[in-house]
């Protein structure tokens, strides 16, 4: 899995799960935030949106400080996996697990950065739904979940779809946070943006033309797709 | 009272009356034997950072010249220079980058100097238990991740991959390798326990102090000699000042600082044979 296509495949293997993860958290959160008022709401919202304006390197730094093997969350995770491995399978690759240098780490980093782009259009779409529609569904006996799945989400689907397109584009193009968390392992492909930087750093910028054209082409397609999505 | 600065400010606005002032300053600077005050831009291998930062203030006092450092992996710095970075002096952690500059006509072969030598060390996180006890053991299950510099841009990584190849370990560690974008990042990965072992310069290990443990100094016959080469660039804006700094680096004072930081002297004969295991410094 090397070369330009291997790199593209690997990039998709990071960006698609990252978009899915961001959607899994972002869409219900957007619905919740569009419907509920509570103290500290603006703080929660700010935390979700902040990766949009923070340099990705700061996101990467925060993730490393949280999930590194010697860090706040990373150390208990490493210890737990080590203990579990001693008990069940001493040969396990997950003994002393750390998020750094793993593709999962890249997925998490890309998801955090992509989340605001997914969250904002989704929230706007949920907020614009007339409350009567949901009230009618509830009057007809629909549960909260049923109302969400069968009424709110279908009505807001365009907003959610544009969020998915934007979030995926961002996840695919993410560089700073993913490169910090995933590092560079020669035994594994890089993502396309990292490949561009790596060619530049090695003093062979002309070799980067392939990934540059490919990324630009994909971005163009996604931009067209975004514009073609019917407006709600 | 505040009247004097006020008058001065008005005075400054009378150009004719004060035109001769800048000229006087220029003359004073030019004829002052103690302060030529030239700014020198030095692109330098990041492993030399502690040593050069130690020299910085003293050199400035002694020569009047100010040093501006640009630290990074030698290969990255080379790329910047080739792309036209305004650099006076380049100090690389290997001969390769300097040779390439000379080949490209960006520096003169005549002016290059070896300013220090180094050793490669296998290090492990100090806190880690059940670590490797020798270089050969990096091939075993004790090492899940081994950090080295990106061989194409980081000389320490180039030496490391030469040593791994020559010790017949390359195939066994291929899956475990993590590349650092410079040797200090490799060190940091080990310090923070993100990797189980790393190959850095002995000087980096020394700098990290208690946080890492040196397992073994790598046999120098396994890789090209580690030499730090300085060369003045052809396009240097401050050529003479850059040459003066090289002279300082080779002087007793300069070599003393380098030696305090763990570098071997520039004049040492290249090591041909050495014991495989040398006790950590």
For chains A and B, CB pairs below 8 A equal: 53
Q: Based on the domain organization, do B8 and B138 belong to the same domain?
A: no
**pLDDT at residue B277, as a whole number:** 47
Tell me how many domains chain B contains: 2
Residue B278 counted as domain residue: no
**pLDDT at residue B272, as a whole number:** 45
* pLDDT tens per residue, range B151-208: 999 999 999 999 999 999 999 999 999 999 999 999 999 999 999 999 999 999 999 9
Degrees (nearest 5) of the Cα angle A191, A196, A202? 115
Alpha helices in chain B (DSSP H): 3-12, 15-18, 20-31, 49-63, 74-82, 95-103, 155-166, 170-173, 183-191, 202-208, 239-250, 252-260
181-240 in chain B: CB under 8 A from chain A: 181, 189, 192-194
Q: Would the pLDDT of B43 be above 60?
A: yes
A168 touches A19 (CB < 8 A): yes
Distance CA B90, CA B111 (A): 11
B265 touches B122 (CB < 8 A): no
Domain A2-128+161-226 has CATH 1.10.3720.10: yes
Q: Which of A217-231, B89-103, B266-280 has the lowest mean pLDDT?
A: B266-280
Cα A204 versus chain centre, distance: 30
pTM, rounded to two decimals: 0.81
Positions of chain A with pLDDT under 50: 1, 232
Q: Based on the domain organization, do B144 and B215 belong to the same domain?
A: yes
Residue B254 counted as domain residue: yes
**pLDDT at residue B36, as a whole number:** 59
Q: Based on the domain organization, do B9 and B112 belong to the same domain?
A: yes
**pLDDT at residue B197, as a whole number:** 96
Distance CA A22, CA A115 (A): 5
**pLDDT at residue B276, as a whole number:** 44
User: Residue B197 belongs to what domain range?
Assistant: 120-222
Q: What percent of chain B has pLDDT over 70?
A: 82
**pLDDT at residue A121, as a whole number:** 96
**pLDDT at residue B2, as a whole number:** 53
Q: Based on the domain organization, do B144 and B164 belong to the same domain?
A: yes
Q: Would the pLDDT of B140 be above 60?
A: yes
**pLDDT at residue B278, as a whole number:** 46
Q: Would the pLDDT of B257 be above 80?
A: yes
Q: Would the pLDDT of B143 be above 80?
A: yes
> Which residue of chain A has the CA closest to B125?
A70
Q: Based on the domain organization, do B39 and B132 belong to the same domain?
A: no
* pLDDT grade for B237, boundaries at 50, 70 and 90: very high
- Asked if B103 is an interface residue toward chain A (Cβ–Cβ < 8 A), one would say no
Q: What is the mean pLDDT of residues B55-73?
A: 94
- Stated as kind and residue range, the H or E segment containing B90 is strand B89-92
Residues 6+ apart with CB under 8 A from A206: none
* pLDDT tens per residue, range B107-129: 999 889 999 999 999 999 998 88
For residue B91, the cross-strand partners are B44, B230
Q: Based on the domain organization, do B95 and B141 belong to the same domain?
A: no
Mutate to test the interface with B, among A180, A186, A205, A206 (most CBs of B within 10 A): A186
Cβ-based neighbour number of residue B127 at 10 Å: 13
Cβ-based neighbour number of residue B85 at 10 Å: 16
Distance CA A156, CA A154 (A): 5
Mutate to test the interface with A, among B101, B178, B211 (most CBs of A within 10 A): B178
For residue B45, the cross-strand partners are B72
Alpha-carbon gap: B132 to the closest alpha carbon of chain A (Å): 16
Q: Based on the domain organization, do B169 and B189 belong to the same domain?
A: yes
**For residue B179, what is the domain's CATH number?**
3.40.190.10
Alpha-carbon gap: B3 to the closest alpha carbon of chain A (Å): 48
Would you kindly state where each structural domain of chain A is located, as residue ranges? Answer: 2-128+161-226
Residue B270 counted as domain residue: no
Of A101, A202, A203, which is closest to B145 when you measure between CB atoms? Answer: A101
**pLDDT at residue B6, as a whole number:** 53
**pLDDT at residue A1, as a whole number:** 47
Q: What is the mean pLDDT of residues B84-97?
A: 95
Distance CA A192, CA A194 (A): 5
Whole-Å CA distances, B36 to B30, B32, B33, B246, B249: 7, 7, 7, 16, 18
Cβ-based neighbour number of residue A32 at 10 Å: 15
B208 touches B49 (CB < 8 A): no
Q: Which of A89-98, B45-54, B71-80 has the lowest mean pLDDT?
A: A89-98
**pLDDT at residue B1, as a whole number:** 43
**pLDDT at residue A230, as a whole number:** 75
Q: Based on the domain organization, do B106 and B125 belong to the same domain?
A: no
B89 touches B75 (CB < 8 A): no
Mutate to test the interface with B, among A61, A81, A86, A185 (most CBs of B within 10 A): A185
């Amino acid at each position: 899995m090397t070369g330009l296509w291997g790199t593209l495949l690997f990039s998709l293997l990071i960006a698609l799960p990252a978009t899915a993860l961001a959607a899994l958290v972002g869409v219900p959160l957007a619905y919740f935030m569009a419907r509920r008022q509570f103290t500290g709401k603006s703080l929660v919202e700010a935390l979700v949106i902040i990766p949009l304006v923070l340099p990705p390197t700061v996101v990467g730094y925060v993730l490393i400080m949280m999930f590194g093997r010697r860090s706040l969350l990373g150390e208990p995770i490493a210890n737990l996996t080590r203990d579990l491995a001693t008990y069940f399978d001493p040969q396990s690759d997950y003994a002393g697990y750390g998020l750094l240098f793993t593709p999962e780490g890249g997925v998490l980093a890309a998801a955090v950065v992509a989340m605001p782009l997914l969250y904002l259009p989704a929230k706007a779409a949920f907020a614009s739904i007339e409350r009567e529609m949901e009230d009618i569904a509830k009057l007809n006996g629909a549960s909260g979940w049923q109302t969400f799945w069968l009424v709110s989400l279908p009505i807001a689907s365009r907003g959610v779809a544009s969020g998915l397109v934007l979030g995926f584009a961002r996840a695919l193009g993410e560089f700073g946070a993913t490169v910090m968390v995933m590092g560079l392992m020669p035994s594994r492909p890089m993502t396309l943006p990292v490949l561009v930087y790596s060619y530049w750093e090695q003093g062979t910028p002309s070799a980067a033309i392939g990934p540059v054209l490919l990324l630009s082409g994909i971005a163009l397609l996604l931009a067209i797709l975004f514009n073609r999505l019917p407006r709600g | 009272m505040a009247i004097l600065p006020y008058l001065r400010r008005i005075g400054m606005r009378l150009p004719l009356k004060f035109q001769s002032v800048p000229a006087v300053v220029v003359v004073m600077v030019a004829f002052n034997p103690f302060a030529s005050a030239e700014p020198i831009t030095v692109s330098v291998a990041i492993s030399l950072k502690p040593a050069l930062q130690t020299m910085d203030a003293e050199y400035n006092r002694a020569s009047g010249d100010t040093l501006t450092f640009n630290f990074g992996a030698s290969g990255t710095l080379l790329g910047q220079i080739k792309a036209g970075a305004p650099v006076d002096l380049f100090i690389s952690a290997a001969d390769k980058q300097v040779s390439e500059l000379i080949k490209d006509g960006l520096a003169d072969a005549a002016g290059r100097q070896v300013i220090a030598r180094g050793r490669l060390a296998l290090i492990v996180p100090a806190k880690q238990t059940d670590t490797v006890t020798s270089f050969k053991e990096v091939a075993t299950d004790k090492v899940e991740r081994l950090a080295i510099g990106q061989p194409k841009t980081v000389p320490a990584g180039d030496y490391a991959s030469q040593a791994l190849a020559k010790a017949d370990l390359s195939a066994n560690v291929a899956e475990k390798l993590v590349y650092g974008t410079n040797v200090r990042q490799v060190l940091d990965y080990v310090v923070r326990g993100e990797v189980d072992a790393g190959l850095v310069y002995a000087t980096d290990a020394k700098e990290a102090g208690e946080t890492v443990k040196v397992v073994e100094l790598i046999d120098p016959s396994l890789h090209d000699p580690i030499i730090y080469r300085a060369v003045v660039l052809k396009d240097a804006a401050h050529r003479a000042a850059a040459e003066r700094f090289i002279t300082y680096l080779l002087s007793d004072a300069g070599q003393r600082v380098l030696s305090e930081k763990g570098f071997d002297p520039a004049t040492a004969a290249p090591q041909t044979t050495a014991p495989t295991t040398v006790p950590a410094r």
